[in-house]
Amino acid sequence: FDEEMGMPPPPIQQKQAALPAIKLGVASSGKNKIFDPSSDFILTWNRVFLFSCFLALFIDPLYFYIPKIVYGTAYSCAGTDRHLTIILAFFRSITDLFYVIHIIIKFRTAFIKTSSTWGIFKGGDLVTDPKEIAWKYLRSDFAIDVVAALPLPQIIVWYVIPAIKYSIAEHNNNIMVLIVLAQYLPRLYLIFPLTYEIIEATKVVAKTAWQGAVYNLLLYMIASHVLGALWYLLSVDRQTACWKISCRNETRCDIRYLHCDMTPNQKWASTTDVFHSCNASDTSITFD
């Protein structure tokens, strides 16, 4: 092309200087950097964000282990594991930050707008206008990304459950399950389009066969991890449900006595039959 136009080719130094700009972004609009969706930066970020998504999917079911049963010689109670709550809130907030950063980057990532004038083989126009990018993102995946980024389990554990803690664990756990699973679905969904983008750019999701095997193993372990956490939480629910039924049948029993933050009546604790009739290791009890 340069020879036909009678123009000398650009110097090698200019070509080399242009490469980093091509890899990082495609255009600048004022102070805002617009990134090329096929650039090395976006590809690296997608891999980092995919790892953070897997980490988030492992962290969220751990909230099902926060409720706990404390068995004692005199009486037992249902409570919460405060140390686990603090640890989970810290790491969960870090993963939430990755989702927020991902939203910001998607507002600054160009997209290819298909057009009939370009033809099927040329793909279309690369749109770098921030307004068009934002409008397209708001109409597509923005709502899912926002739902995935909300710190809902932290709010439930630190504010909602303490406000209704004396209702005993059954209703609290139901709220926890609904919130975590409702947010778990969009977080799980984000993995698949993200994987597709990586495959489109590099033709593979993992660079080596071992990385691919680990990727598939993680998907299997996530499913088993969720089922295991649900099994534990449902076991806690069954224990507290038995206590509540037995407590209603006793005249001096108060539901609040079954919570670890409440000091029970010592006379009631020494004479109650609630814990004996709800002993899971006793096969003769009528409650399943």
pLDDT in tens, 55-90: 999 999 999 999 899 988 778 888 889 999 999 999
Q: How many C-beta atoms surround the C-beta of residue 24 within 10 A?
A: 14
Please compute the mean of the pLDDT values over residues 138-158 and round it to a whole number. Answer: 91
Q: What is the mean pLDDT of the chain?
A: 81
Q: Are 9 and 2 in contact (CB under 8 A)?
A: yes
**pLDDT band for position 280 (50/70/90)?**
confident
Q: What angle do CA 80, 60, 169 make, to 5 degrees?
A: 30
What's the token pair of residue 7? 């123009």
d(CA 205, CA 214): 11
Residue-wise pLDDT for 248-269, tens only, equals: 888 888 888 888 888 777 888 8
Task: List the structure tokens of 129.
Answer: 């206008």
Q: Dihedral of CA 48/54/60/64: which sign?
A: negative
The amino acid that residue 146 corresponds to is: V
- Lowest mean pLDDT of 6-15, 148-157, 202-211, 220-229, name the range: 6-15
Round the CA-based radius of gyration of the chain to a whole number and report it.
Answer: 28
pLDDT of residue 171 exceeding 70: no
What is the average per-residue pLDDT within 127-142?
90
CA atoms of 277 and 6, how far apart (whole Å): 97
The Cβ of residue 219 has, within 10 Å, a number of other Cβ atoms equal to 12
Q: What would the pLDDT profile of 177-232 be if each residue is shown by its tens digit?
A: 888 888 999 999 999 889 888 888 777 766 677 877 888 888 889 989 999 999 99
In the predicted structure, residue 100 carries a pLDDT above the cut 60: yes
